[in-house]
Structure 1
Amino acid sequence: RLFLKIEEELMRKSGKPALKIVGIDMVAHYFGEEGAVTLGNLEVSREKYVGGLNIWLGKPIYPGVVKKAVPLSSIHLKLTRRHGCLLLYGMKPRTPLYAVEMDVSNGYPLPRLTPMI
């Protein structure tokens, strides 16, 4: 409840929708696997009503929760490391495979996606 009040206050002050980044493993740890999926369902419904963006980060700690959360998402990206290279691809919708590299030419790290042919 407190989190929702803070979120609503920030949205009222800024006039813009909220960005929420949530670790699925932490939600599952505190609320259980079914509780995490239930919360995910509630958040999807709420964001359709109030707007905003939810980013749920999943690790393989609770693979069951991640599997159940995928149908709730409109976009599902997978980030993995193979042979020392960081790779990104879309599972929903399907996208090509990209290598993730860091461009520091401007003095700060900026991710650069290079298509893998």
Structure 2
Amino acid sequence: MALAPVDPHDYAFAAISQILDQPEAPRPGLTGVAITPVEDDVYSRSSPGPFDAIRVKWTTRAASNDDYVVDETVGGNSIAVTSRRMTREAAIRFVDDRANEAQQRFDQLRNEMIANLAARTGTPSLL
């Protein structure tokens, strides 16, 4: 029985996954995302990922009166897409929801890549 050809990208994805899976002190509900504490009416979180060019960042800022908006950027040199006006609490919740959704999608993709590599190579998955 011949083995199926292995896509060389699978090895790269597995290596990236292992690098990203390095244990660190767990913080409840905040796995894998960068967080800037709320100070001076600014709150920020970034999505996970191995490349800054595709990492999404959400930042709240005061708009006027008691209204806040969220600026969403992709990578370091993009133009921000600004949300509608909302309360400070709603803006923080918006940022947290987006960051948590991004983390879940990243985890799912990483797990699929690891499972695909394990299936192709016949090695047990580390999941």
Length-normalised TM-score, structure 1? 0.29
* Higher strand content, 1 or 2: 1
Structure of greater Rg: 2
TM-score by length of 2: 0.27
Greater relative contact order (Cα 8 A, min sep 6): structure 1 or 2?
A: 2
